[in-house]
Amino acid sequence: MRARIRDQRRSARRLRPALLAVALLASAPLAAQDAMLGTILEEPGSAGLGFLGRVESSPYKGADDRVDLMPLYLYEGERFFLRSNAAGIRFAPREDQGLELFVERRLEGYPEDETPDILEGMETRNSEADIGARYYFKRNDHALDLSVRQDLSGNSNGTEVRAAYGHTWRGDRWALQPVLSLGWRSAKLNDYYYGVEPYEVTDERSAYSAGSGVDVTAGLYGRYRILQNWSLLGGVYAKRYSSAVRDSPLVDSNIEWGGMLGAAYDFGNGQVRWDKEGTPTYVKVFYGRDSADGCHLVKIMTFSCLDLNDDDPTDIWGVHVGRPFVSGLNGWPLDLVGYVGVLRHNERGHQPDAWQIDAYMKGFYYGFPWSHRVKTRIGFGFGVSYAERVPYAEVQSQARRERNTSKVLNYLDPSIDVSLGDIFGSERWHELYFGFGVSHRSGIFGSAQMLGTVDGGSNYIYTYLEGAF
């Protein structure tokens, strides 16, 4: 038995560098994010969280360099995957090749913090959502990645085709990967971001219709494992635009450069395999209402403000389903559970009701002196949330502060609960919990382009029942 456990732990350690390489590539802008994506992880059920600080030049005249925080939400299942700004399903997966369908947020668009003079009066070109397909092939340390993307949001209606080659050098604690890629962009895509319509012409800005073209990108990305579960990530890249972009009156640079540095935590498969037969499934049902203006997350968590919105209230209800990744992390009374679920916004006539999808990793601590009598858990979840329509609570709050909104935001889920079985003396109900929590969406203080550079969000205080089956 001990030998098998040691083998499992060795296997988990071998997989961690693979997951973190996926984290790195998923976060790299441009075609580098395609190279080897989804081909590195060999074990289904791995997950990770982290962040990357990015700095990159802007192609637009007079625009400052962009400084951006990239949250890393990572999950590699046998069929489903989540890679920060992309999610999708995998078909006919093999160790050396496979086909994926995905939706992805394109991290491109006009500067959102300060508009340069050349773009004054221009209709803003926002980030868009793409739908795409990817074929990947790998042999030993070589990898080839082919993908095609089509605008799904109706902004540009443009198309992009990418081809990338990557080679990986590995050590015990490190990995280094140069990547070379070509990206053909359609005329519609280039014209959306770099064209000038006749009604936008000024003395400094002539009319321009961008055609199609091929961009070339070269990058170098690396990872160094500093602890068993933690790794440092970094990389640099340079991109040469096609003449269709370089000739635009909005552009004054032939080459875009960028760099990134961050860290990621790999949950791996730990001591508990989420997809192993006999592993419990957690089901949480909840109902709540938005908090009052000024009653932000920290105040709610410290119980200094628990006021609900009585002026124009809206409600939520939902179901989240979770599976454990780690039980008793490092021997501590701490479990890690991965959740995914749906939430319904009841907007009470202020705007049409809408659905929301949440995916997050949540830690539960239960090592209190009284837990042997009444098991008490304090939880904190971190992940990503997609709303079918921006919730009314966020629309109103952001409008009052004259700030933008986004359907995709960071998701936090702090909670506290107790075992109903322990309270009522029922062994059968020992894993049935009653508690309170907060459903929180935010844009990480306007620092993340992937989240629409949103500064603000919403808080819903809810009560719930959660059981393990």
Q: How confident is the model at residue 148 (pLDDT cuts 50, 70, 90)?
A: very high
Q: What is the 3-state secondary structure (H, E, C) of the chain?
A: CHHHHHHHHHHHHHHHHHHHHHHHHHHCCHHHHCCCCCCCCCCCCEEEEEEEEEEECCCECCCCCEEEEEEEEEEECCCEEEECCEEEEEECCCCCEEEEEEEEECCCCCCCCCCCHHHCCCCCCCCCEEEEEEEEEEECCEEEEEEEEEECCCCCCCEEEEEEEEECEECCCEEEEEEEEEEEECHHHHHHHHCECHHHCCCCCCCECCCCEEEEEEEEEEEEECCCCEEEEEEEEEEECCHHHHCCCCECCCEEEEEEEEEEEECCCCCCCCCCCCCCCEEEEEEEEEECCCCCHHHHHCCCCCCECCCCCCEEEEEEEEEEEECCHHHCCEEEEEEEEEEEEECCCCCCCEEEEEEEEEEEECCCCCCCCCCEEEEEEEEEEEECCCCHHHHHHHHHCCCCCCCEEEEEEEEEEEEHHHHHCCHHHCCEEEEEEEEEEECCCCCCHHHCCCCCEEEEEEEEEEEEC
Q: What is the pTM of this model?
A: 0.84
In terms of residue numbers, what domain contains 385?
282-468
pLDDT of residue 41: 33
Q: What is the CATH number of the domain that holds 136?
A: 2.40.160.40
- Over the stretch 187-208, which tens digit does the pLDDT of each residue have? 999 999 999 999 999 999 999 9
CATH of the domain at 445: 2.40.160.20
Query: What is the structure's pLDDT at 39?
Result: 33
What mean pLDDT is reported for the chain? 86
Residues 171 and 66 in one domain: yes
pLDDT in tens, 54-92: 899 999 999 999 888 888 888 877 788 888 888 899 886
Instruction: Determine, yes or no, domain membership for 271.
Output: no
Residues 262 and 286 in one domain: no
Residues 106 and 178 in one domain: yes
What pLDDT sits at residue 16?
Answer: 43
230 and 287: one domain?
no
Q: Classify residue 225: in a domain, yes or no.
A: yes
What are 272-317's pLDDT values in tens digits? 454 566 678 999 999 999 999 889 999 999 999 999 999 999 999 9
Please give the tally of structural domains in the chain.
2
In a domain, 272, yes or no: no
Q: Are residues 371 and 398 in the same domain?
A: yes
Ranked by mean pLDDT, which of 33-37, 78-82, 129-133, 137-141 comes out on top? 129-133
